[in-house]
Amino acid sequence: MHVISVSSFKGGTAKTSTSLHLGAALCQFHKKRVLLIDLDAQANLTTGLGFDPDEQDSMAPVLQGEKSIHDVILETCVPNMHIVPADTWLERVEVSGSLAADRYSHERLKEILRDLPYDFVLIDTPPSLCWLTESSLIASQYSLVCATPEFYSVKGLQRLSIFINNIAERHTTKVLGVALSFWNPRGKSNDAFLKVIEQTFPGKLLNAMVRRDIAVSEATIFGKPVFDTAPKSRASVDYMALTGEILMRL
């Protein structure tokens, strides 16, 4: 089982869309069994698949030891793709209940995910270097870093790199790749952005880049991946290519 944290240091990097479409592509085109975990209290991955986060249990009671992960897993519209939804209780979960007194609380998620019946577990982390992100990276063999060709996104990569490297010194996790979204092949500053990414994560930039496409936003309205709502769109083609490249790296 491959456990992958999908990470970024700021919002707006298509982290959630990447998590959703990587999971859907693995199921639909590569016959894999996938569990998505929404660890972001904003719950965009949850709502993007048509669920109301106010009506579902999240990973919060599981981390607190009050429920089993099997109690909170939901089936999605994509066959063989399940999700653990998010809710607002994830915010600051580490300072409440049994987690507050546990000095090793950031290792609980790793134990919870052990021996689950999936080929892939994809964790959509918060866009910050918080306890949930640290827990996710500790539980993962790999991290998929999301970025956009924008100044603040690329600058955030440097802090994320330091954060991941610090965790990797104590736990077996490594960067699988850097996925670029909202890509404009004609962007004037592309070379400068790509140079910074190569300096920060040498050899990790993925060749398959996801171009800007309104079809992704439209798919969210229907709570489905873009492969179902606009299978011939640019985003559909790009996410399939991205998934194929990630599988090759694995």
Q: What is the CATH number of the domain that holds 243?
A: 3.40.50.300
* Mean pLDDT confidence for 46-60: 93
In the structure, what pLDDT confidence band is assigned to residue 185 with cuts at 50, 70 and 90? confident
Q: What integer best gives the mean pLDDT of the chain?
A: 93
pTM of the shown model: 0.95
Q: How would you label 19-37 residue by residue, b for 16+ Cβ within 10 Å and e otherwise?
A: bbbbbbbbbbeeebbbbbb
pLDDT greater at residue 186 or residue 174: 174
Instruction: Specify the pLDDT at position 65.
Output: 93
Instruction: Specify the pLDDT at position 187.
Output: 82
- pLDDT of 10 higher than 80: no
- pLDDT of 128 higher than 90: no
Instruction: Specify the pLDDT at position 119.
Output: 98
Instruction: Specify the pLDDT at position 225.
Output: 96
In the structure, what pLDDT confidence band is assigned to residue 154 with cuts at 50, 70 and 90? confident
- pLDDT of 38 higher than 90: yes
- pLDDT of 196 higher than 80: yes
- Domain of residue 133 covers 2-249
Instruction: Specify the pLDDT at position 214.
Output: 94
Structure confidence by residue, pLDDT tens digits, 201-233? 999 999 999 999 999 999 988 999 999 999 999
Instruction: Specify the pLDDT at position 92.
Output: 85
Tokens of 36: 């998505």
pLDDT greater at residue 34 or residue 187: 34
Number of domains in the chain: 1
Instruction: Specify the pLDDT at position 230.
Output: 96
Residue 127 and residue 9 in contact, taking contact as beta carbons nearer than 8 Å: yes
Structure confidence by residue, pLDDT tens digits, 63-121? 999 999 999 999 999 999 999 999 988 988 998 888 888 888 999 999 999 999 999 99
Instruction: Specify the pLDDT at position 192.
Output: 87
Q: Cα–Cα distance between 39 and 139 in angstroms, integer?
A: 13
Q: Using CB atoms within 10 A of its CB, is residue 144 exposed (0-12), middle (13-18) or buried (19+)?
A: buried
For residue 230, CA distances in Å to 26, 130, 215, 216, 244 come to: 17, 35, 7, 9, 19
